Structure 1
Amino acid sequence: MIQVREATAPDSDAVADLLTASWRDAYAPLLPAAVLDRLPALHRDMWRAHFAAPRDGIVLLAEEDGALAGFCAAWLEDGECYVDNLHLRPGRRGGGLGPLLLGEAAAALAARGATRAALTIIEGNDRAARFYARLGGIAQPPHPAELHGARVMFRRFAWPDIAALVAACAVPAPSDRTE
Structure 2
Amino acid sequence: MNIRPAEDKDRPIIADIHARSWQENYRDYLSDDLLDNRLSEMMADRWANMDIGAQDIVLVAEDDQVQGFVAVWDDEMPYIDNLHVSSDCRSKGIGRKLLAAAARAAKANGRKTIWLHVVVGNDRARNLYTRLGGVPDGVEDKDLYGTMVPNERILWRDINILAEQSN
Q: With structure 2 as the length reference, what TM-score do the two structures score?
A: 0.93
Distance in 2 (CA, whole Å) between partners of 1:145 and 1:54 is: 21
Distance in 2 (CA, whole Å) between partners of 1:154 and 1:3 is: 30
Contact residue 116 and residue 162 of structure 1 kept, 8 A: yes
Residue of structure 1 in register with 2:84 after alignment = 87
Residue of structure 2 in register with 1:63 after alignment = 62
Q: How many percent of aligned residue pairs carry the same amino acid?
A: 36
RMSD over aligned Cα atoms:
1.2
Establish whether residue 143 from structure 1 lines up as the match of residue 140 from structure 2.
yes
| CA apart distance, 1:91 | 2.3
Q: With structure 1 as the length reference, what TM-score do the two structures score?
A: 0.87
| CA apart distance, 1:89 | 0.1
**Alignment partner for residue 130 of structure 2, among 129, 133, 139?**
133
Contact residue 81 and residue 106 of structure 1 kept, 8 A: no
Q: Runs of at least 4 residues of structure 1 off by over 4 A?
A: none
Unaligned runs of 5+ in 2: none
Residue of structure 1 in register with 2:97 after alignment = 100
Query: How big is each residue's C-alpha offset from its partner over 1:35-71, in whole Å with a ceiling of 9 and x where there is no partner?
Result: 2122111111111111xx3233111111111x11111
Distance in 2 (CA, whole Å) between partners of 1:107 and 1:92 is: 23
Which letter maps to 2:106? L
> SS of the counterpart of 2:34?
helix
Residue of structure 2 in register with 1:156 after alignment = 153
What number of residue pairs does the alignment pair up? Answer: 165
> SS of the counterpart of 2:88?
coil
> SS of the counterpart of 1:91?
helix
Query: How big is each residue's C-alpha offset from its partner over 1:137-169, in whole Å with a ceiling of 9 and x where there is no partner?
Result: 1112211222101121111100000001112x2
Distance in 2 (CA, whole Å) between partners of 1:30 and 1:104 is: 30
Contact residue 7 and residue 61 of structure 1 kept, 8 A: yes
